[in-house]
Amino acid sequence: MPRTARPFALAAALALALAGCTQAPHSVAPPSFDENGAARRIEADLRFLADDLLEGRAAGTRGYDIAAHYVAAEYRRLGLEPGGDDGSYFQRVPLIEAQRVPGAAELVLEGIGDNAGRSERFEFQADFLPGVNFNANTHSLEAPLVFVGQGVAAPEFEHDDFRGLDVRGKVVVVLSGAPERFPNDQRAYYSSGLVKNAGFVQRGAVGVITLGDPERESKSPWARGARNWLVPAMRLRGPDGKAVDSFPELTATASMGAHVAERLFAGAPMPAEEVFARLDRGELVGFELPWRVRMAGQTRQQNVDSVNVVGRLPGSDPQLADEHVVLTAHLDHVGIGAPVDGDNIYNGAFDNALGSAILMEAARQAMAAPRPKRSQLFIALTAEEKGLLGAEYFARWPTVSKDGLIANVNMDMPVMLTDLRDVIPIGVENSSLAPIVKQAAGELGIELSPDPKPEEVVFVRSDQYAFIRQGIPAVYMDGGVVARDASVDALDQLDDFLRERYHQPNDDAKQPIHYPSAARLARLNQVVAQRVADEAQRPRWNEGNFFGLRFAKGGD
């Protein structure tokens, strides 16, 4: 599978994906739409949310709370009902925040077998970062190392990276992602850190080292990400006060840059260069490494709270009003981090002030439209940047009946740097949402393109995945990659953004954001949600769909 897809191939690919989807719904023409007015409103919201005043909107900070109150005030002005706790617009999200202590971090290899007598000591930040431990303030571990490829066991594809390996009592060394030969849905699922860690625990591993690879680091260099080691990590705080999905069986974890691979694979059955070559060819095999590793670290922990902002538009049909279509966008970003050219505020204009502004505009459009039969929820979510935590909390413990959550329409980081013809409805092919999206887009004059970067597995990296894990069909409406001006390569613009500005201070409002494209995306989201809310039947997974088979009973 190629690493990227060019725009000329996208429409044909999506047409194949949508072929055979369920019959198109009854068409009701969308009412008139003031694109220029919507664009101005979206720009106004973005310029506030991405301002330095909000200090990057990190979950659990004052800047995020200001943003949350801004959204709640707009919901109140519009007349949306409060959909949060105790008659408010806020759903409390309990969290545990943890931060690395650099002086206590250690990662040392001691040779065994062919490497006996050798030692390799790695440097904090330059070479490795210890994982944040949510289960203990200090941790230390000594154990043998074993390389497990990408750490994927997928019997339906006769693929098992653990074949012939015993990982009990060992630290596994693993590469990110999943095999490129997998279909996109399965590739996304098996790339998930939650899935991989659960598999490591099931097989008795006691630690994990995630190793970068040259292809990924060519787009997102190790040094750029590692300089923000001070940014705290978070997990949900469960009813028992403990961190949710924190895998206490894994005593120590760490990540390492691809540049250390030659040292890590020294004396191994194959050198680092061959490992990465096999990764590119899809021919990875696991093997024991001739090292014991000593890992140690220290973590500061504290309990913090943040909020999801929930507005509700009640449905008009008494028989269906307890069912809800959920529109979401994450409001948080990464906050204050390492300075770049003197700027330490990571504003997150595209990620995801723009998505939040689009959500607010969709709410305005919904309030101006005929009241749908089912209810709608408009939720600005917290802590997406910490692992989809706000979405996970709402999907597990919603403020309305969980059985009544019928669909999710998510908006996250639509990169719109030029006038776009298209939208990328990621995941739409999985459910009966497909014909609704296709028809609405056609009526609005918006083209649909497939995911141009399936290797990024964004379907499991944004908030819709929390709803999918609870069995709820979802679609993630992403910005497009086909410019109206044929001389402009919007995919190149996206690549440049991901390489130079993603999770950097220069993702700010100074960029040439194309607000009319954002207005059209808001309109599409609103029309799709309205159609879903008015359908005779609630959305359903397509027969035999991977996510439907795995999650349809509601939760993993």
Alpha carbons within 13 A on the beta-carbon side of 371: 13
User: For residue 1, what pLDDT band results from cuts at 50, 70 and 90?
Assistant: very low
Average pLDDT of the segment spanning 136-149? 96
pLDDT band, residue 455 (cuts 50/70/90): confident
State residue 5's pLDDT score: 43
Comparison of pLDDT for 25 and 171, the residue scoring more: 171
Give the residue, 101 or 66, on which the prediction is more confident. Answer: 66
Q: Reply yes or no on whether the pLDDT at 242 is more than 60.
A: yes
CB-based burial label for 370 (10 Å; 0-12, 13-18, 19+): exposed
- 211 vs 149: CA distance, rounded Å: 10
Beta-sheet pairing, 252-256 with 207-211: parallel
List the chain domain ranges. Answer: 35-97+302-479+514-543, 99-301
pLDDT one-digit tens code per residue, 323-351: 999 999 999 999 999 999 999 999 999 99
Percent of the chain with pLDDT over 90: 87
Alpha helices in 420-503 (DSSP H): 433-444, 464-468, 490-500
Confidence of residue 266 (pLDDT cuts 50, 70, 90): very high
Is the omega angle on the peptide bond into residue 352 within 30 degrees of 0, that is, cis? yes
DSSP state letter for 370 = P
Task: For 321-441, list the strands marked E by DSSP.
Answer: 324-330, 335-340, 343-346, 375-381, 405-411, 422-426
**500-544 pLDDT tens trace:** 999 999 999 999 999 999 999 999 999 999 999 999 999 999 999
What's the confidence (pLDDT) of residue 553? 67
CA distances from 181 to 154, 329, 412, 452, 528 (A): 12, 31, 27, 16, 32
8 pLDDT higher than 50? no
DSSP, residue by residue, 106-171: EEEEEE-GGGTT-EEE--BTTTEEEPPPSS-SEEEEEEEEEE-TT--EEGGGTEETTTT---TTSE
Lowest mean pLDDT among 30-39, 43-52, 174-183: 30-39
C-alpha angle with apex 80: 460 to 318, nearest 5 degrees? 90
Confidence of residue 556 (pLDDT cuts 50, 70, 90): low
Whether 35-97+302-479+514-543 shares its CATH topology with 99-301 is answered no
List, for residues 192-239, the tens digit of each pLDDT value: 999 999 999 999 999 999 999 998 888 889 998 898 888 899 999 999
Please compute the mean of the pLDDT values over residues 313-322 and round it to a whole number: 98
Mean pLDDT computed over every residue of the chain: 93
CATH architecture of 99-301: 3-Layer(bba) Sandwich (3.50)
Q: Specify the pLDDT at position 9.
A: 46
Q: Would you say 174 and 162 are in contact if contact means Cβ atoms under 8 Å apart?
A: no
Q: Is the pLDDT of residue 159 over 80?
A: yes
State the pLDDT at residue 47: 99
> What letter does residue 384 receive in the DSSP assignment?
S
Q: Which amino acid is at 403?
A: D
Q: What is the pLDDT of residue 27?
A: 47
pLDDT at residue 175 tops 90: yes
Does the pLDDT value for residue 23 go beyond 60?
Answer: no
Tokens of 347: 């504003």
pLDDT at 447 over 90: yes
pLDDT at 448: 98
Which pTM was predicted?
A: 0.91
Superfamily of domain 35-97+302-479+514-543, CATH level 4: Zn peptidases (3.40.630.10)
